[in-house]
């Protein structure tokens, strides 16, 4: 069975004051039966990594460049994230795909860079509301998986997060059968491509996850955790989701 993962994506939120939320989460989770991850803004990554070292919390980046170094002003290489203490990096988030026109090929190049730096890649996939309404959800996700993942992926290097674009930050959540359909499909696609190692690849759900709906989402087969946005910014809110995942 995959080890469950509660991953918090702080996005473009947080200054030094928010490190107090990480301290509160550490105090609330002195032990954990699941993996806990916080991906802060790059400005906080090194300080957060130092703060949580030796605790139940790991850290990650929110993106990386495909190149290991060079003239790329404002970008961060995967090696830089690792040097700052990260163990993970989120890649292909819909906000990156939309705001920065990232293609599946761009995401795959970044995944390769992350792997070369020793990071675990959390690769995001998901359909827009128009694609969902048109019945294209599985086709879109299948295309994203095929194009965003390099060959030879293993369960210890890859996490896949299903985040329907229309559910991110909107309060809308797919029905449980809809979540189950996508997660079953992703598992089947990964098994077909990568073999038995895909049985242990963690599949996360993301999109308006909160403590009030987490338990029912985590009860869906092939949901191995969550990629949490706004609800990860407050320790008490994130702890409620972690508790639900531990109880699942």
**Residue 122 near residue 152, CB atoms below 8 Å:** no
Residues assigned a catalytic role: 93, 163
**Residue that has been written with the tokens 């026109």 in this structure:** 101
Short-list 41, 34, 23, CA closest to 248: 34
In angstroms, the CA 60 to CA 73 distance is 21
Separation CA 221–CA 160 (nearest Å): 15
Q: Which two tokens stand for residue 53?
A: 């070292």
Taking residue 7's Cβ as centre, other Cβ atoms within 10 Å add up to 24
Residue 207's CB is within 10 A of a number of other CB atoms, namely 26
Per DSSP, the three-state class of 38 is: strand
Residue carrying the six token digits 């605790």: 55
Tell me which residue of 94, 178, 184, 93 sits closest to 132, measured CA to CA: 178
């Amino acid at each position: 069975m995959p080890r469950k993962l509660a991953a918090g994506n702080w996005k473009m939120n947080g200054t030094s004051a928010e490190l107090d939320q990480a301290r509160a989460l550490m105090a609330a989770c002195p032990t954990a039966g699941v993996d806990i991850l916080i991906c802060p803004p790059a400005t906080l990554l090194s300080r957060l990594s130092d703060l949580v070292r030796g605790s139940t919390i790991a850290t990650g980046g929110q993106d990386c460049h495909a190149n290991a170094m060079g003239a790329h002003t404002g970008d961060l290489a995967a090696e830089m994230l690792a040097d700052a203490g990260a163990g993970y990096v989120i890649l292909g988030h819909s906000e990156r795909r939309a705001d920065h026109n990232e293609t599946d090929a761009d995401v795959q190049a970044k995944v390769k860079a992350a792997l070369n730096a020793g990071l675990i890649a959390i690769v995001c996939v998901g359909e827009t509301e128009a694609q969902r309404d048109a019945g294209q959800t599985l086709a879109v996700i299948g295309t994203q998986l095929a194009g965003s993942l390099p060959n030879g992926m293993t369960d210890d290097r890859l996490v896949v997060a299903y985040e329907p674009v229309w559910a991110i930050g909107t309060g809308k959540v797919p029905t449980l059968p809809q979540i189950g359909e996508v997660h079953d499909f992703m598992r089947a696609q990964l098994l077909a491509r990568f073999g038995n190692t895909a049985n242990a690849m963690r599949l996360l759900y993301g999109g308006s996850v909160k403590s009030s709906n987490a338990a029912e989402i985590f009860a869906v087969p092939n949901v191995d955790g969550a990629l949490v946005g706004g609800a990860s910014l407050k320790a008490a809110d994130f702890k409620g989701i972690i508790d639900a995942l531990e109880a699942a």
